[in-house]
Each structure stands twice: as structure tokens, then as C-alpha cells.
């Protein structure tokens, strides 16, 4: 199996850390504003480049900053445009369908993704932007912090190649569980509303 850390090191070179951090920031920002990018894979791949605690914390800070900025950007954009009544109705009906109907949904969204373009949802639903930013921050710390801890654990106890393999399997499991949880939550909420 290809050693991702060595490949990134070859691509970015010795001074590639800052460029890689910028790439991670942009990937998370695109994920938050435009379309899903599965940032977990890029995040872990960047950590393989330099599995030190300081670089890991830098990646965590960048992920939090990009997710928060993405939320605020969409919030501000939607605040400046006239949202058609139909979209407003659909968004609010969808939020009513979910297990939570307030800012706490942004925390749950880190574990079981159910709302894309969360900044737009925050604006349309009339949620408090400060609470929303807080829940995005906490969610990022918990999710990406856990991914970093598991990556660091695998790096400490296994060879570099095995550690990367186990970490990627862990990431795939996290994404799969997130998807399954979001489907289960939506179905349960739909069933409880019918009865």
C-alpha cells in the first residue's frame, strides 16, 4: 500500500507543511460552503505528512476555522438574498422532521450528517448565529480531535504503513456509521410523526 505521508512529503517537499495546512483549510471551507468533499480523508492524510502533536493541533485549528468561516459565509450570503417562500417552507419542514429543531442539531450533524449548507439552514430557520458557531466549534473539536487521537494511537503502536491502513479503516467506519445514523434518525423521526 502507498505510504500517504511519504507521498505528500514528496509532493509538498520539506517546507510543505504550510501549503498542506492551506490545502486542508480550503478543502474544509469548500465542504462547508459549496459541496461535500469528505474532508476526513484529507485531514488524516495531512496528519500522515507530519504525525506530530503540534502539526495535528494546527490541522485541528484550521479545520475548526474553515468550518466556522464556512457557516458564517453562508449565513451572511443567505441574509443578503431573498429566499423564495417555497425554499423557506421546505427547510423549516425538513428541520421539523429531524430529531432536534434548534442549534444543537449542528453538534449532532458532526456525528450524523443531516443538514448540508448549515449556514443557510441557520439563517432560514432563524437560529442564533453565536450558538450555532459554538456548536460547530464543539462538534469539530470532538470529531476531528477523536480522529487525531486515533491516528496518533495507531502511529504510536504500529508501523507507519499499518498505522495508515488502520486509520483509513477507522475513517471509513466513522463515515459509514455517520451515514447509517443519519438514515436511522430520519426514519425514526418520520415514523414518530406519522403515528
Average pLDDT over residues 127-137: 94
Burial of residue 47 (number of CB atoms within 10 Å: 0-12, 13-18, 19+): buried
For residue 116, give the C-alpha cell.
Answer: 448540508
Distances (CA, A) of 54 to 12, 22, 111: 18, 16, 25
Q: What is the mean pLDDT of the chain?
A: 79
Sequence-distant (6+) residues with CB within 8 A of 47 are: 55, 56, 59, 148, 151
Highest mean pLDDT among 95-99, 105-109, 121-125, 190-194: 121-125
Q: Say yes or no to pLDDT of 193 above 80.
A: no
Q: Say yes or no to pLDDT of 125 above 90.
A: no
Q: Say yes or no to pLDDT of 6 above 60.
A: no
List own/partner pairs for 83-89 with CB under 8 A and 24 or more apart: 83/123, 83/124, 87/124, 88/124
Tens digits of residue pLDDT in 52-109: 888 989 999 999 999 999 999 999 999 998 888 888 888 878 777 666 778 888 887 7
Please state the pTM of the whole predicted model. 0.76
Average pLDDT over residues 111-138: 88
Q: Say yes or no to pLDDT of 182 above 70.
A: no
Amino acid at each position: 500500500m502507498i505510504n500517504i505521508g511519504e507521498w505528500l512529503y514528496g509532493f509538498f517537499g520539506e517546507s510543505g507543511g504550510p501549503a498542506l495546512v492551506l490545502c486542508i483549510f480550503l478543502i474544509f471551507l469548500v465542504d462547508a460552503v459549496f459541496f461535500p468533499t469528505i474532508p476526513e480523508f484529507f485531514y488524516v492524510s495531512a496528519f500522515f505528512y507530519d504525525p506530530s502533536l503540534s502539526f495535528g493541533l494546527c490541522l485541528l485549528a484550521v479545520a475548526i476555522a474553515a468550518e466556522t468561516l464556512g457557516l458564517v459565509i453562508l449565513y451572511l450570503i443567505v441574509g443578503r438574498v431573498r429566499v423564495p417562500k417555497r425554499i423557506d417552507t421546505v427547510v423549516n419542514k425538513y428541520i421539523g422532521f429531524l430529531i432536534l429543531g434548534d442549534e444543537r442539531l449542528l453538534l449532532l450533524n458532526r456525528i450524523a450528517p443531516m443538514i448540508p449548507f448549515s449556514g443557510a439552514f441557520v439563517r432560514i430557520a432563524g437560529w442564533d448565529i453565536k450558538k450555532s458557531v459554538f456548536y460547530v466549534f464543539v462538534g469539530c473539536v470532538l470529531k476531528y480531535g477523536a480522529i487525531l487521537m486515533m491516528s496518533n494511537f495507531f502511529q504510536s503502536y504500529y508501523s507507519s504503513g499499518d498505522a495508515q491502513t488502520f486509520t483509513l479503516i477507522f475513517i471509513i467506519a466513522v463515515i459509514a456509521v455517520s451515514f447509517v445514523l443519519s438514515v436511522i434518525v430520519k426514519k425514526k423521526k418520520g415514523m414518530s410523526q406519522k403515528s
